[in-house]
Amino acid sequence: MPLLSNKVAIITGASSGIGRAAAKLFAIEGARLVICARGAEQLDQLAAEIREEGGEAVVVAGDVVQQKTHEACVAAANDAFGSVDIAFNNAGTVGTMRPLAELTSSEWEDVLKTNLTAAFLGAKAQVPAMLKGGAGSLIFTSSFVGNSVGLPGMAAYGAAKAGLMGLVKGLTADYGAQGIRANALLPGGTATAMAGSPEQREWAAALHAMKRIAQPDEIARAALFLASDMSSFVTGSALWADGGNAAVKG
């Protein structure tokens, strides 16, 4: 039986990279999807591909820094499928990269809004819907940056991604007894648009014990574990999917 049979999942940042790979995989595993990102055209294409392969997907185009986007995703899930069982809060941005003292306040705030505040807004909308069903799995895409290592020019990004760990623990304390699980997924370098140039990807690969960066579908499979009942006793945790990056830091 598919791992996500009869489950309804919201995926943000679904138009590309890890989010797109997760949407395709979750659909294959039986989930009915609400896919969200800013790019409507890319979402429509993804939804068409999922439907062609026998899956179900509804599109919500919007910016995750706005509460109304998350409310629209929950409403779409309830209207189309009747519940919200899984939320993969995956959307994020690296933002402006420069030493911390050279960042403007607006650059700092933009990174925190997209990576951390958006996660709060997502959970705020998703948790009540999950409580109605008596269970749910919240997944947040964090990073090795800010949790196992700091990288030059990425203080804002690292602070936001580290903040997700506090969010996960707080959600676990608040809702664990009510059947809601919350976990963070910590990818290493991944071959997405955020990975930069071939030279930057080669540099990033050297940070990992496996001496390569991940493909998006490899991270999607880790997200699938957290979304499914295979991780039924896993909550408040950090799942490292980083090719051994954190393990080899001195």
- Domain extents for the chain? 8-248
| Dihedral class, residue 215 (left if φ above 0, else alpha if ψ from -120 to 50, else beta) | beta
Q: Which tokens hold the place of 243?
A: 């090719």
Q: Which tokens hold the place of 196?
A: 């930069």
Give the chain's residues under pLDDT 50.
250
How high is the pLDDT of residue 201?
83
How high is the pLDDT of residue 222?
97
Give me the residues paired with residue 214 across strands.
190
Is residue 103 a contact partner of residue 156, using CB atoms and an 8 Å limit?
yes
3-state secondary structure of 45: helix
Helix or strand (DSSP H, E) at 186 = strand 180-187
How high is the pLDDT of residue 195?
62
3-state secondary structure of 88: strand
Marked catalytic residue, from 81, 88, 157, 240: 157
* This prediction's pTM: 0.94
Is residue 176 a contact partner of residue 236, using CB atoms and an 8 Å limit?
yes
Helix or strand (DSSP H, E) at 241 = strand 238-241
107 class by beta-carbon count within 10 Å (0-12 exposed, 13-18 middle, 19+ buried): middle
How high is the pLDDT of residue 3?
97
Beta-carbon count within 10 A of 46 CB: 25
Instruction: Respond yes or no: is residue 157 known to be catalytic.
Output: yes
b/e per residue 187-197 (b: at least 16 CB within 10 A): bbbbbbeebee
Tell me which architecture the domain covering 8-248 has in CATH: 3-Layer(aba) Sandwich (3.40)
